[in-house]
Amino acid sequence: MNTNRRKTLVIGAAALTGPFFIGSARAQGKKEIKLGQTMPYSGPASAYGTIGKLHQAYFKKINDEGGINGTKVNLISLDDGYSPPKTVEQVRKLVEQDEVDALFQTLGTPSNTAIHKYVNAKKVPHLFVATGATKWNDPKNYPWTFGFNLAYQTEGEIYAKYILKNRPNAKIAVLYQNDDYGKDVLAGLENVLKGDKAKMIVAKATYEVTDATVDSQILTLKASGADTMFNICTPKFSAQAIRRVYDSGWRPPLHIVNNVGASVGSVLIPAGLEKSEGIITVQYYKDESDPVWKDDRAMLEWRGFMGKFYPDGNVNDASNVYGYITAQVMTQVLRQCNGNFSRDNIKKQAESLKDWKSGLLLPGITVNTSATDHGPIDQAQLSKWDGKKWVLFGDVLGGGAA
């Protein structure tokens, strides 16, 4: 996809382009709600671009059904190539030229870091960013920013507690992306494995998103003698790491893959399903490939949506379930606005989600926010790949030190 071409996608509102609809919809009674986002439709994280495409399809569905109490949703989704300078350029256009009412699901830790101060200074709702960095839940200093994903540190803490319980003498090798995302998951691991337990981490290696492969890093980690592999990678590199571990003849008894790099469609299939057997991750939403959800009502509705509104989407890609849930949450916030789509009221409603539940979230997990809590998801469940499907095990867990 051409990164220089501005992608403007007016969802279900093609006829609504006349002067009457131009301008901000922040005041009550306007006919259009304007949302903006940046997505990596190109570049090293382009596997995530399907999330933006699903959002476009979802708001077309909402508009076809009459909009939000009669008000259409116009999602402007722009390609940033997972490049922070490009994110800054695109978000400035969204805020200053398009005058969006809110940003929704801008994707990537480095990309959102680049716009964090700017959007807060402009007082633009920066909602449900598609990244789990812990810093998105900091309403005291960044009151307009909200996370969505399970916080990376919480995820790292869950894995660390699992290791301590099941492999207390583990020798852990860590591969992580050399940015705020990778360091945040690692911080969660180290929050628990501290003091005399810190020596359990025997090797660390990093990669840059511009690297062609992680082959050399895997060989270095293998040579450390580690018996536990912790893979903190985005999809492309996660698939490479899983495949290289297997092909090198390394068989660590425990291989953990962080949630964002554990999609069946964009990671395990490219890596090789048999090469992925035994891998452990966490999940907080249902896996479409798991037969336990075959007749699940919410999953049937999602499959119907995919067939009607996003037929080109890969139903084996977990990102398409994730995107659907986040679009549902955004829609819930807009419905709670009760016709007042001012930025202040959108922010207020985003802080007012109480035990809200999507049928696609795992049982026992709900969405909650408040003026002092901008992290909607704080629980997950461990899951193991058996060669054909993810198999959930244990209880729903949260973070914290052991």
Provide the β-strand partners of residue 381: 283
- What are the start-end ranges of the E strands in 91-221? 102-104, 126-127, 172-177, 201-207
Identify the pLDDT of residue 265. 86
| Pairwise CA distance, residues 294 & 215, whole Å | 37
Q: What is the pLDDT of residues 307-342, one digit of tens each?
A: 999 999 999 898 999 999 999 999 999 999 999 999
Q: What is the pLDDT confidence band of residue 44, given thresholds at 50, 70 and 90?
A: confident
Q: What is the pLDDT confidence band of residue 397, given thresholds at 50, 70 and 90?
A: confident
Alpha carbon of residue 233 to chain centroid = 13
Identify the pLDDT of residue 369. 97
Residues 6+ apart with CB under 8 A from 78: 6, 7, 8, 36, 37, 38, 39, 90, 93, 94
Does residue 12 have a pLDDT over 80?
A: no
Let me know the angle formed at the C-alpha of 22 by 20 and 27, rounded to the nearest 5 degrees: 85
- What are the start-end ranges of the E strands in 190-277? 201-207, 228-232, 254-257
Percent share of the chain, pLDDT over 90: 83
> Higher confidence at residue 289 or residue 279?
279
Q: What is the pLDDT of residues 208-221, one digit of tens each?
A: 999 999 999 999 99
Q: What does the longest C-alpha to C-alpha distance in the chain come to?
A: 67
Identify the pLDDT of residue 13. 34
Q: What is the mean pLDDT of residues 271-300?
A: 94
Q: What is the pLDDT confidence band of residue 289, given thresholds at 50, 70 and 90?
A: confident
* pTM of the complete model: 0.81
Identify the pLDDT of residue 18. 35
Average pLDDT, the chain: 91
Q: What is the pLDDT of residues 139-164, one digit of tens each?
A: 999 999 999 999 999 999 999 999 99
